[in-house]
Homo-oligomer: A and B are copies of this chain.
Amino acid sequence: MAVAFSPRLRPHTAFRFFAQSLLPTATTLSKSILPKPRLCFSSAHHSSPLPRRRCYCTLISSAGEGIKPPEIVDSGSKVGLFRKRLKIADIKGGPDQGLDRLGHTLLVRGWVRTIRMQSSVTFIEVNDGSCLSNMQCVVSSDAEGYHQVEAGCISTGASILVHGIIVGSPGSKQKVELKVNKIVMIGESDSSFPIQKKRVSREFLRTKAHLRPRTNTFGAVARVRNALAYATHKFFQENGFVWISNPIITASDCEGAGEQFCVTTLIPTSPEAMDSSAGKIPKTDEGLIDWSQDFFGKPAFLTVSGQLNAETYATALSDVYTFGPTFRAENSNTSRHLAEFWMIEPELAFADLNDDMACATAYLQYVVRHILENCKEDMDFFNTWVEKDIINRLNDVAVKDFEQLTYTDAVNILLKANKKFEYPVKWGYDLQSEHERYITEEAFGGCPEIKAFYMRQNDDGKTVAAMDLLVPRVAAATPVPRMVSFPPAIGFVPPPAPDYFPVLGETPAG
């Protein structure tokens, strides 16, 4: 414990800002089209708890309200005024999908998805990542910079600025489009750009990792994942929890179960690492690794759980949570066993198993509701292309009551099941994935309900109390993560004594 809190290991926050700097030159960019930065701390903005770009298709974006369309003025140089630009999500997510802004000027900054040249006009679909939807930009030959269209410079993957006026669209796919006055090339592309308008496999995209965020799927996953992370913080903050950043490098092995990665500087660091001589590793006279010469003077590892640290804060601040990366050196490449993953570990003080279950349920319903309300377009995309019916199932999760099931009842259901399991079913044995799947997907009719388990809490108060929260069929195929691994915890006795630490193992003792 002391080591985990040593000052050297203690996390600290630093800040760093980078800009994808846009270097204006006479040939590529006239400064005159950059909008003036606007103060972003209006009271109207402050009062909205909703992030602006998550609102598409469901809510009026807070960013769009009270803010005029960008004017054609010099980029302001006054520090302190942070830009407030309209993005495509602000237009298309607005009232009536942008029809309220007819006649307004708009500067779209983004990446060309497709370009279609017709006899009189050219259609350029531009995406700025603020939402799944593109802005259809209609370019006539009188638009400034049209020669770049003619020359074929503006192709899929190019980054451009497009300035124009919002007009009604005769097309059926969108209500508004951009009638282009001026088009400015920022970064060219060519026909070798690997993400063209066709479906590509995820295996292929894995080889183009630097470009796959520009696909519909990865863009949507990034936005939904972001919404889930923010909703996680919102839920716990609104319920009075304090976020704890437990040390990532640690000398404690919190669970004793997971294999740990060693963190060391005994092995020379990059780029020399590849051809390091094994003989250079410092040794003691007995031929053992000389840890005193390592960075921390002793073996150090990546954390497998922040629980121990969170507990010390929970017994001082009442309710806390961790949300940070966690590591297991388990060589099993499944969705349940990752080497690196972000884990949420709430610790509730003065709580019982009912509080624990209530917290887990309330949390899950909160974040599911959050993405259903704020990521509608992205979720519709998943519903159509990735996992049919996911929205209905998540809707059920968000509103239905959760089933509770004791370990004993679960075992009884499995014993009565007319099904052959790979692993034996017996009271006292662990429930395996196949058992949990049977219970959630078959025993309860495959309907999208949720079952909470808890283990028996003996009358003597000494045996473990724990619970798992299982969501049928939501786990692997969607961006909504599965809740896993709820080891039991027992009561705490301050000041810490040996029995302060949680009993480990998921098999009931009785």
A494/B295 in contact, CB under 8 A = no
By a CB distance below 8 angstroms, the chain B residues around A209 are: 1-2, 4-6, 312
Contacts A233-B230, A267-B264, A361-B82; A342 near B239 (Cβ below 8 A):
no
Contacts A239-B40, A354-B76, A485-B14; A287 near B291 (Cβ below 8 A):
no
A478 within 8 A of B: no
A435 within 8 A of B: no
By a CB distance below 8 angstroms, the chain B residues around A18 are: 307, 310-311, 345-348, 356, 486-487, 489, 502
A341/B277 in contact, CB under 8 A = no
Q: Which of A22-30, A97-105, A418-426 is found at the contact surface with chain B?
A: A22-30
A124 within 8 A of B: no
Contacts A213-B313, A313-B222; A20 near B491 (Cβ below 8 A):
yes
Closest to A469 in B: B17
A187/B494 in contact, CB under 8 A = yes
The B-contacting residues of A in range 332-364, CB under 8 angstroms, are 333, 335, 338-363
By a CB distance below 8 angstroms, the chain B residues around A41 are: 362, 366
B494/A157 in contact, CB under 8 A = yes
Q: Which of A317-325, A385-393, A439-447 is found at the contact surface with chain B?
A: A317-325
By a CB distance below 8 angstroms, the chain B residues around A295 are: 261, 329, 331, 339
A11/B342 in contact, CB under 8 A = yes
By a CB distance below 8 angstroms, the chain B residues around A249 are: 261, 302, 327, 339-340
Closest to A37 in B: B358
In Å, the complex CA distance between A56 and B352 comes to 27
In Å, the complex CA distance between A16 and B298 comes to 30
A248/B248 in contact, CB under 8 A = yes
A58 within 8 A of B: no
